[in-house]
Homo-oligomer: A and B are copies of this chain.
Amino acid sequence: MLAELITIGDEILIGQIVDTNSAWMAAELNKIGIKIKQISSVSDDVSHIVEALQEAEKRADIILITGGLGPTKDDITKKTLAKYFNCDEFVMHKPTLAIVEGIFAKYNAPLLAVNIQQAMVPTCCKVILNPQGTAPAMLFKKADKIFISMPGVPYEMKNIMSSSVIPLIQEKYNLPAVYHQTILTAGVGESFLAEKLEAIEDSLPAYIKLAYLPKLGSVRLRLSTLEHASPQIIEEVKAYTQKIIDTIPNHWVAKEDLPIEKVILNLMESKGLTLSVAESCTGGAVAKMLTQHTGSSSVFMGGGVVYSNGLKIKLLDVKPETLENFGAVSEPTIEEMARGAIKNFETDYSIAVSGIAGPSGGTLEKPVGTVWIAVANKEKTVAKKFTFGNKRTQNIERSVMAAFTMLFRLLKENTEAAS
């Protein structure tokens, strides 16, 4: 079963926006066993859209289209699709009109004729409701192929995909109900894991596949069934999951598809523990990762962005002598930062980061990319030096991931010892 994605919109072709929709859609389709043959971005131009549809139709069974459904003149996807499927007649779709009216009523905005037009659809399509926006999704059939047009607004598209399109595709094509089990690992690379897990991978039956999904300092392992997941096969997947975990006891983080900081927040919340940060070179990036998650405030109290030495002394009680004798990027300083955060921010755990993110500021002894990280609780402080590369943004990202990995290990050690 092959699919193609077509994104429509001049804003993509002039580079004004990055198409993040396609990667998300591809990953979701992949999970139900559908391969993406091609992703194409084309302009708001009738003949070009038609050409893209023709080419995709030759190669794939399922064609998903996003964008070009807005109320303005340059949004021509709907009428182009009507033309492509030879149905020029449009009708008012009442449930969509009700949604449009509801949205305008909520924001007290005047409902214009162009907005009402949003609820007009070609007679030959089946409407898929978009409860979050004014443009509905539309399903067209041609022989055994299906074409689904969705709005390009990411959260609207994601909701339509998850609640309607994915179930619809699974049902229509009678796809096997695939079962996935994700294992999050941190702190080690793909090739290290592949070597450790070689024997398990070789022993997998033909209907269970192991995928390595590396991303920014962590690798997710995903076991997937390649055929219908019977209760017995699901049990097998669970047994392999356990085998994998037992093989990498110090590297697995969670049996869920969650980012590591969310795993930490969940674990700490369940134990009633609190966290603070003391960030120098990461400059708020650790805190930002934590606070992007709803409900983080029950665990994360906040902390200091201590870019200057003055603030390291003032907010964290780092001793001026320590800074003078060892420098801001050193083991004694990072330990004092982590301990200072515990004490002054009154939390159970802390993360401290200080390094030379670059591209300038390096020395022979401490080159750009040198980063000290410490994690602490009331009894213990663990500090570690990392030597990353010379790209500022990457050094910051890698420091954040390394800090979470260290904190997770310390938490695990303590919560396991306590339980």
Contacts and interface: CB of A to CB of B under 8 A. Distances in A.
Given A35-B13, A302-B307, A283 B290 contact: yes
A284 B295 CA distance: 16
Nearest to A40: B40
Interface stretch (A83-91, A92-100, A195-203, A391-399): A391-399
A369 interface: no
A24 B41 CA distance: 14
A25 interface: yes
Contacts of A295: 360
Given A16-B213, A283-B288, A284-B287, A42 B38 contact: yes
Contact of A37 (B37, B48, B55, B296): B48
Interface string A27-61: 11110000111111111000010001001000000
Nearest to A281: B291
Interface stretch (A109-117, A225-233, A308-316, A410-418): A308-316
A326 to B, nearest CB: 19
Interface in A249-301: 276-277, 279-288, 290-292, 294-297, 300-301
A14 interface: yes
Given A40-B40, A284-B286, 4 more contacts: A14-B36, A15-B30, A300-B307, A305-B305
A82 B288 CA distance: 47
Contact of A315 (B20, B27, B315): B315
Given A291-B284, A303-B305, A305-B284, A26 B43 contact: no
23 contacts: A12-B39, A13-B36, A14-B26, A14-B27, A14-B30, A15-B24, A15-B25, A16-B27, A16-B215, A19-B22, A37-B48, A38-B40, A284-B284, A284-B287, A284-B290, A292-B392, A294-B359, A294-B392, A295-B360, A300-B307, A302-B311, A303-B311, A314-B344
Give this chain's copy count.
2
**Is chain A's interface secondary structure helix, strand, loop, or mixed overall?**
mixed
A151 interface: no
Given A277-B305, A295-B360, A308-B302, A285 B283 contact: no
Contacts of A315: 302, 304, 315
Interface string A356-399: 01111000000000000000000000000000000111001000
